[in-house]
Structures are given as C-alpha cells and as structure tokens.
Amino acid sequence: MIRARLLTAALALTALGACEKLPTEPFDGAKKLEISGPSTAAPGQTLRYVATATYADGSKRDVTGDATWRSSSPQLAFTSAGVATAKSIGEADVEATLHVFKAQVHVLVLEPGTFKLSGSIRERGGRSLPFGGRVMVLSGVGQGKLGLGEAYRIYGVAGPIRLEASSRGYLTTMYDIDVTGNVVFDIELVPSETPVDVAGDWTLTLGPPPPGCPDGLPAVAQTRSYKVAVVQKGTLLELQLRGPTLQVADDRLTGGTVSGQRVTLYFGNPEDDFGVALFTNLIDKLSATETFSFTGQLIFQGNESPIATMMDGTVRYWTRPVTQPPSWECKSTNYPVTLRR
C-alpha cells in the first residue's frame, strides 16, 4: 500500500513537471499564419483564399481547411473554408484563425471599372463638424450616391464627377474631381455665419426650481453656482466646470456648439434618465450626506452678459449614495439658468 502511494505521488510530480515544461506555442509548431487571395471583387463573384502556416524549421503548409474563416461585413460571406461570395458593393476584412494566430486581408467589392472615394469632411482648420457632414455625387458615374459622417465613404464612382458637400451651419460647397482609382479626398467647409465668441470664464447659476418641480428640495440645493471655462475652437466648445465641492468624472461629457449667434451647451446627455445603471458625471457634495447633480442642454443667442436661459434636463438631490434612486428629482424643459461672464 505504501509503495503504491509513493508510486502515485511520483507519477503526480512527473505530470506536474511535464505541465510546467509544456510549450507556449501551438502543438503543431506553427510560427506564423498568412492569407493569399483577391483583395478586390465584383458583386456575385466567388473568391477563394488560402491560409498558409509557417513552421519553426521554415517549412510551410496549406492549412485552409484547418483554419476558422470569417468576414467582418455582410458585403462578403463565407460558404466553406476559404471560399466566399461577394454579396454587394462595400468592403470587408477576411480573417483566418489557426490556434492563437490570425491573418487578415482587406477586400473591396465594387462594380468593374468603378472605385471607392473616401476622406474626411471637417471645418476649415481641421476641426470636427458639430452635426456631421454629407457628401453627394451630383453628376457622373455614381450619381446620387451619398457619403455621411466625419469620415465619409462612397463606393462605385469613376471618371469626372461633381460632389456637393454640406453640413448644418456651413456653406454648401461643390467640387469637380476626376476619379481614376481608389482615392482619398478630404473636404473642409466654411461656417455660413461667423460664430459668436463665447470663449472665456463664465459663472453658471442653476435654479431655483421652476413650477412643476416637486416640493422638498432643501435651501442648500435651491440655487447652485459653478465656474465654467469655455474654450472655443471654431464652432465647437469645450467646457470645464469647477466648484469648491464639485466633482467631474469626465470633462468630455460637457461641451457645446456655436452656429452664428446660436449657442448650445450640454452637460451629459439631456435624454439620459440613467435607466437602471446610474452614472452621474457632475457630483456636487453639499455635505457628508447630501449630493446634488444635473444633466441637460441649454440654448441661447449671443454673448451679452448676463444671459438668462433655461435647461432641458434633469436635476437630482440625494441624502443617500448616488447609486440609489435620488431623494428628489425634477425633469424639466425650463429649469432656470443664468450665465455671467
């Protein structure tokens, strides 16, 4: 019995030593994975890809059937190992996985003789557009095609085309270009009106609560004031709220835009009712047991101080942890706000 136990222990120690010496590389000894196959295709075309593994001794082996294949987009779909069908114009990443190794090839799906037009659409000077951009092909091959967003993409254009670029609050601009290959064409727009200057230091005062809010908000939270540093970059505003008892989780959740004389400031998401998972970006610790917070959006004209306006949002007050429902809450479209420069 004692000999059997000693033999069992010895075997266990041997197994443990073997585990400690297991190689970290895949068991088949592969060192690298590569994909070969087409990077362009036409809709309806069948594409064939080969995955090749390279081993420590320099040898190579076709592992197409052993690899796992996927496409990043519905524009291209795999029907079997290494075999895919181009479904519609667009682009996709073809990926093969073998053990811990991955390999990719980028594929453009276009009608024969056409190309991809892409680029950025921003405010002159490189600043982001507050409301995004829109690029439309007005004439030429691809007429009517549309690209949206700060980084636009249009598939299926060729030859001389005319583009229209636009965004809310900016001059619509036309461009004539000749597309003879996949091309990057960056666009800059000019504001339709000179944006009002609101940069500098302001004081924001919130409250008292308007009619329609529930009773019960204590005096210490009826009116709250904060310093606001406004950095203006063209039509975009960056805000920093500060106060002796104010804690800000992320300054990027406060900001604003300017369109001519119209100024919009936001503090978090005005449509966010926090749902189940409560996230409070602005926390004003009124005392050891009291917390005040607000989120919302306000709109006003010009920069003459003082500015009396209203916030569309939510104000909350807690006498318990902010992870629990507030002790007092008011959702209002006309919560009073005063700004002084």
Q: CA distances (Å), 287 to each of 33, 200, 208, 255, in order?
A: 60, 30, 19, 27
The tokens of 82 are what? 């290494």
d(CA 46, CA 42): 9
Which residues lie across from 59 on neighbouring strands?
A: none
8 A C-beta contact, residue 278 and residue 295: no
Q: Please tell me what DSSP assigns to residue 215.
A: S
pTM, 2 dp: 0.65
Amino acid at 60: K
Question: Domain residue spans in the chain?
Answer: 29-109, 115-189, 200-340
Amino acid at 104: Q
pLDDT, tens digit (0-9, with 9 covering 90-100), for 142-197: 999 999 999 999 999 999 999 999 998 899 999 999 999 999 999 999 999 889 99
Q: pLDDT 10s per residue in the chain (341 long)?
A: 434 443 333 433 334 343 333 333 444 677 889 999 999 999 999 999 999 999 988 899 999 999 999 999 999 999 999 999 999 999 999 999 998 899 999 999 999 999 999 999 999 888 888 888 999 999 999 999 999 999 999 999 999 999 999 998 899 999 999 999 999 999 999 999 889 999 999 999 999 999 999 999 999 999 999 999 999 988 899 999 999 999 998 888 899 999 889 999 999 754 444 443 456 789 999 999 999 999 999 999 999 999 999 999 999 999 998 888 999 999 999 999 999 99
Q: Which CATH architecture has domain 115-189?
A: Sandwich (2.60)
Quote the pLDDT of residue 35.
94
Q: Does 115-189 match 29-109 at the fold level?
A: yes
8 A C-beta contact, residue 294 and residue 241: no
- Sheet with 40-41, strands from edge to edge, namely 40-41, 101-109, 90-98, 68-71
**Distance between start and end Cα atoms, the chain:** 90
Domain 29-109 classified CATH 3.40.50.720? no
